[in-house]
Amino acid sequence: MPSRFFALKRLPLTVAVTLAFGSGAGWAQEVVKIGYTGPLSGGAALYGKNVLNGLNLAAKEINAKGFDVGGKKYKVEVVALDDKYAPAEAAINARRLKQQHGAPVVFVPHSGGAFALQAFNQQENFLLMAYTSVPTITEKGNKLTMRIPPSFLTYIEPFIRNQMKHGKKLGMAPADHDYAKAWVAAFEPAWTKAGGAVVATNPMSYNKSADFYTGVSRVLESKPDVMFIGGPSEPTGLVAKQARELGFKGPFVIMDQAKMDEMARVTGGLQMLEGSIGTLPLTADERPGAKAFVQAYRTAYGPDSNPSSESSLNYTALHLVVNAMRLAGSVSDPVAIRGKLDAAAKALPDAINPNDINGVDEKGGSDLNTVVGVVEGGKLKAVRLKSL
């Protein structure tokens, strides 16, 4: 039997080997499988697709040059599985990605899935790249986790301070998934502590319905000055639209999962979100890295496509992982890769860092220069959190 058959059997599970035959061609090319489990169907499908688009764009850029680790050249392949936003499905997918594909790194874009994976990712030895701003994801002492976005707690005080000028009565109509529950648990007492009153709280299943009139009506019965809403962009847009149709004229506090430009497609324009505050769409971000990313994204996915922060942050996070592999000298050791994330983040060039990730702390949390958006006169205004 040819000796190269035995060479194939000795390769680490984290590396897939593709044979390339031909005169003058190398006989093998090594590919690192990067796992992704997220919602690719159901009400959160757009959200999950946005994340995957960012990962795939980063992979395309990385593979255009390849990357060297330990004297070998590698490419990356993103292996994506649909979990329908269900934590149990995410856990099944992650085990499959590790056991069948040998993925040393798994991306998951929802807190329920991230917490489910933390139950076993250290034992099964893969790095969890968690796209969730729930701060407890990095407070559990898990040594193989990175939280990609900033903690949502950084938004709460400036959001409240900005929206209190519209009135002190708050009606809450968020989604009912784990991430929304974490936001509510932090936002509700903070609003009260700031001198406001929470006059109604009615969580709704954003991913299973398109009719929110009944739930929104229950909140509006208490005549709130401000409404707190949030989940994936499309259903959040529907909640806002139906609130307007039912006569609500105040502003919205929009949880960071929803993006106002995507909501505007559902509401019929940003004027329907007048006075509201939320994360700033990349298309309104004037920072050079953000503008470069928007152009690259539209080149890849079409001139009318608008990338979200999920797209851009996960795009940067995959570049970050690959740079950490270089610094660690390994594509298969999650502990070594995790140990180099901070150094890799500090070395990120602006061209692949549209959100200004400055570093990764010892617990795995990212450090960013955060900019948010306020709708004024039917247009988005960029504001740094500290300026609110």
- 210 contacts: CB under 8 Å, gap ≥ 6: 235, 238
For residue 127, the surrounding DSSP H or E stretch is strand 127-130
Q: Can you tell me the distance from the alpha carbon of 51 to that of 54, in angstroms, rounded to the nearest whole number?
A: 5
Which CATH architecture best describes the domain 3-151+291-368?
A: 3-Layer(aba) Sandwich (3.40)
Instruction: State the burial class of residue 311 (Cβ atoms within 10 Å of its Cβ: 0-12, 13-18, 19+).
Output: buried
Instruction: For the full predicted model, state whether its pTM sits above 0.85.
Output: no
Within this chain, domains 3-151+291-368 and 154-282+372-387 share the same CATH topology: yes
> Residue 107 has what DSSP assignment?
E
For residue 82, the surrounding DSSP H or E stretch is strand 72-82
Q: In what order do the strands lie in the sheet with 371-376?
A: 197-201, 169-174, 226-230, 252-254, 277-279, 371-376, 379-384
What per-residue confidence (pLDDT) applies to 348?
Answer: 95
Going by C-alpha positions, the residue among 219, 224, 227 that lies closest to residue 202 is 219
What per-residue confidence (pLDDT) applies to 387?
Answer: 62
What per-residue confidence (pLDDT) applies to 9?
Answer: 39
Which CATH architecture best describes the domain 154-282+372-387?
A: 3-Layer(aba) Sandwich (3.40)
What per-residue confidence (pLDDT) applies to 29?
Answer: 58
What per-residue confidence (pLDDT) applies to 189?
Answer: 97
What per-residue confidence (pLDDT) applies to 267?
Answer: 96
What per-residue confidence (pLDDT) applies to 57?
Answer: 98
List the structure tokens of 282: 């990349």
What per-residue confidence (pLDDT) applies to 44?
Answer: 87
Q: Domain-by-domain residue ranges, the chain? A: 3-151+291-368, 154-282+372-387
SS3 323: helix
Q: Would you give per-residue pLDDT tens digits along the chain (388 residues)?
A: 444 333 433 444 444 433 333 333 343 459 999 999 999 999 889 899 999 999 999 999 999 999 999 999 999 999 999 999 999 999 999 999 999 999 999 999 999 999 999 999 999 999 999 999 899 999 999 999 999 999 999 999 999 999 999 999 999 999 998 889 999 999 999 999 999 999 999 999 997 778 999 999 999 999 999 999 999 899 999 999 999 999 999 999 999 989 898 899 999 999 999 999 998 888 888 888 999 999 999 999 999 998 988 999 999 999 999 999 999 999 999 999 999 999 999 999 999 999 999 999 999 999 988 888 999 999 999 887 766 6
Amino acid at 373: G
Going by C-alpha positions, the residue among 2, 90, 72 that lies closest to residue 30 is 72
